[in-house]
Amino acid sequence: MTIQILAIIVSVVLFLVIIDLIRRGRLKERYSIVWLAASAVIFLLSIWRGLLEGISLWLGVFYPPSFLFLIAFFFLLLIVLHFSVVLSRIYNENKRLAQEIGLLRTEVKELKK
């Protein structure tokens, strides 16, 4: 089926793009795990139609492709949450750095006196 081929191509391309970004140092390994997991799951579900249909029917979803959307949605939610956690950490580190710069400036001034 055309949609299946398209899904396979998209997930493979996504996977290769992520690997290439890591290889060129544009994406940190620590932030790539969620993305790799997402592309792997989408790849698995697109080559193995039976799995997608099986899980969908078991969950009571009678139109399997819509289950694929649900999975994609969960992954996006996970990735966005991950970003918020990272952002909070970076905020704290940034604050600490700014405070430290202020304190060091003051120390330098006092030493120059």
What residue ranges bind other proteins (CB under 8 A)? Answer: 95, 98-99, 101-103, 105-106, 110
Among 17, 59, 16, residue whose Cα is nearest residue 68:
59
Residues 6+ away with beta carbon under 8 Å from 35: 14, 18, 27, 79
- Residue with Cβ nearer other proteins (66 or 106): 106
Report, in Å, the least distance between residue 106 CB and other proteins: 5
Report, in Å, the least distance between residue 92 CB and other proteins: 9
- Residue with Cβ nearer other proteins (66 or 92): 92
Report, in Å, the least distance between residue 97 CB and other proteins: 9
- Residue with Cβ nearer other proteins (49 or 95): 95
